[in-house]
Structure 1
Amino acid sequence: MTNTTKLFALLATCVISAVSAPALAVGGAGTQAANVENAAASRLLTVAGHGEVMLNPDSLRTSISIRVRAETLAQARAEAGSKTRAVIAALEGLGIQALQVRTVEIAVTPIPERQRPGDDTPPRIIGYEAESRLSVALRDVTVKELRAHGSRILDTALAAGANVVGGVDFFLSKPREAHRLALAAAVRDARENAKVVAGAANVTVSGLRTIKTVAAESYGYAQKAMMADAVETVTGFPVEPGEIRVTTQVTASFLFTK
């Protein structure tokens, strides 16, 4: 072999060595990282966390209706309209700044004559029933104001001509803030649960790996009042807000070491 041939062979060997060494090093680092990742995944402790907060409501909503019957459609509409305007005026006259009143439904229904069994003839219309339903809401006030104004709202509406009152529903004007409080409580609960499980398993929690929310629910406790007859007997009844429970859940995975 000539000297020139030997020189080319030596250069080729150096190039192959220079390329192959880093390639092997990269492959080794990738494998090592994958092994670390698999080891970490096999040392995960997954627990659930439950968060719950009890809060006083700051708002209420109720449904108030004016229901009338008359022989003619015009009479039913006129009477229902007149009484509805009177109820709205009376509620606005309370001077409650946070009070919101809006019409949500107007319905007029014919009243058929009662038929005898086996009678297939079309029933005769003997009158009409007209109903106007109002949604009344009081938002972002204190519990003391809910108690005081809630009773005044119902009494005033009934005295002005309303004759059907739906349930009183208490709620939070800023539900997202309550949900965040429950979320924070759920995360704290998940950490405590992880510590308990790790202690029982004789391992040590070393850090949080993943966390996700599972569900969120809120429950309100409300007075219910359904009245269609003898409404004069219910004026002056107390309105007492109940606490609202807001709950949520999270699932968290923690790394642990032996």
Structure 2
Amino acid sequence: MRFTTAAILAAMLAAPLAALPARAEAPAPRITVTGEGRTETAPDMATVSLGVQTRADTAAAALAENSAQLARVLARLKAAGIAERDLQTSGLGLGPQMDYSRDGQPPRVVGYEASNQLTVRVRDLSRLGAVLDQAVGDGANTLNGLSFGLSDPAAALDAARVQAVAEARRKARMMAEAAGARLGAVLEMNEQGNGLDPRPMFRTGAAMEAAAVPIAGGEVGYAVSVSVTWALLAP
């Protein structure tokens, strides 16, 4: 009985020690750095947002006139070589025009306005000015924006990615050497964002000649940001 009791006591004393977690090892040293890359190139495509606004005494008349003008614009753009896939109508609106000028009197309807927006992709930039001139001549009376880009930006984005990783490595190596260490293997890499950089960039002599609307395409920039984690090793 004594031997059994001693064994039980020994087991009870050892149990708390066995339940203690093993001492955690310190995490391996690492460094995470963000790098940015950017490429600039001449655009090969323009996107134009234009529209037609018409006013008439009745809603039906305003909408009918708007439809007729937009049909003429679309027909001329197609005749100019713009493909169906590069034409998209959007933003159709129809509403009353109100007169609020009568003091003390409720506003009254003085007419109706119809509007329709058209997004046009122009892939031959040498014809961009002429396309705009023709669209305005056929009834487009609002211009809401003009932007340039690449029809296939994959190569520009890939070049920016290479630059971003190289920049991250340069900064990480400099920081590691300053801390008395050196870079090891890459542990993690993430792309944090990419796309068309909105900052305008212009090149001398990039104007595209047109009969009525001169356009300067300049350059477009694509930017990429990456985050890279390296192991840190002893020097």
With the length of structure 2 as denominator, give the TM-score of the two structures.
0.74
For residue 65 of structure 1, what is the aligned residue in structure 2? Answer: 51
Q: For 1:204-229, what per-residue CA distance to the aligned partner results, in whole angstroms no more than 9, with x for missing partners?
A: 32332332333335323569xxxxxx
224, 227, 233: which one aligns with 1:250: 227
Q: What is the number of equivalent residue pairs in this alignment?
A: 205
2:30–2:229 CA contact under 8 A, matched in 1: no
Secondary structure of the residue aligned to 2:86 is strand
Q: Which has the higher strand share?
A: 2
Once structures 1 and 2 are overlaid, which stretch shifts more, 83-92 or 211-220?
A: 211-220
1:2-50 deviations in Å (ceiling 9; x for gaps): xxxxxxxxxxxxxxxxxxxxxxxxxxxxx9xx85xx4xx4432332222
Percent identical among aligned pairs is 29
Kindly indicate which of the two structures has a greater share of residues assigned to helix.
1
Q: Secondary structure at the match of 1:202?
A: coil
Deviation at 1:136, TM superposition (A): 0.9
Determine if contact 2:181/2:232 at 8 Å carries over to the other structure: no
Residues 196, 118 of structure 1: alpha-carbon distance in 2 compared, 3 angstrom cutoff: same
Give the corresponding residue for 2:119: 135
**Structure 1 residue 104 displacement after superposition:** 0.9
SS in 1 for 2:46: strand
Secondary structure, aligned partner of 1:168: strand
Find the counterpart in structure 2 of residue 9 from structure 1: none
Q: Whole-Å Cα distance in 1 between the matches of residues 112 and 229 of structure 2?
A: 61
1:181 and 2:162 correspond: no
Cα pair distance change 1:74/1:137, threshold 3 Å = same
Q: 1:132 to 1:196 in 2, by over 3 A?
A: same
Contact 1:170 1:221 in 2 (8 A): no
Rounded Cα–Cα distance in structure 2 between residues aligned with 1:126 and 1:98: 37
- Displacement after TM superposition at 1:189 (Å): 1.3
Is residue 200–residue 220 contact of structure 2 (8 Å, CA) maintained in 1? no
Deviations 1:50-86 (A, max 9, x none): 2222233232211111111112223222221211111
Secondary structure, in 3 states, of the residue corresponding to 1:184?
A: helix
Aligned-pair RMSD on alpha carbons?
2.9
Contact 2:53 2:142 in 1 (8 A): yes
**Letter of the structure 2 residue corresponding to residue 192 of structure 1:** R
The CA deviation at 1:183 is 2.1
Residues 88 and 120 in structure 2, CA contact (< 8 A), matched pair in contact too: yes
Q: Deviations over 1:182-240 (max 9, x none)?
A: 222211112222222233233332332332333335323569xxxxxxxxxxx712222
Residue aligning to 1:209? 187
Deviation, 1:91, is: 0.9
Question: In the alignment, residue 167 of structure 1 is paired with which amino acid?
Answer: G
Q: Is the 8 A contact 1:220 1:243 kept in 2?
A: no
Structure 1: give runs of 5+ residues left out of the alignment.
1-30, 224-234
Question: Matched residues in 2 for 1:54 and 1:65: separation?
Answer: 31
Q: Does 1:104 align with 2:90?
A: yes
- Alignment-derived partner of residue 212 in structure 2: 236
The match for 1:170 among 136, 148, 160 is 148
1:157 aligns with 2:135: yes
Larger CA Rg, structure 1 vs 2: 1
Q: Identify if the C-alpha distance between structure 1 residues 59 and 118 changes in structure 2 by more than 3 Å, giving closer, same or farther.
A: same
Q: Is the 8 A contact 1:99 1:136 kept in 2?
A: no
Partner of 1:78: 64
CA distance in 2, matches of 1:186, 1:169: 25
Change (3 A) 1:215 1:167: same
Question: Contact conserved, 1:50 with 1:249, CA < 8 A, in 2?
Answer: yes
The one-letter code of the counterpart of 2:70 is: T
Distance in 1 (alpha carbons) for counterparts of 2:150 and 2:161 = 17
Would the aligned equivalents of 1:222 and 1:241 in 2 still touch at CA under 8 Å?
no
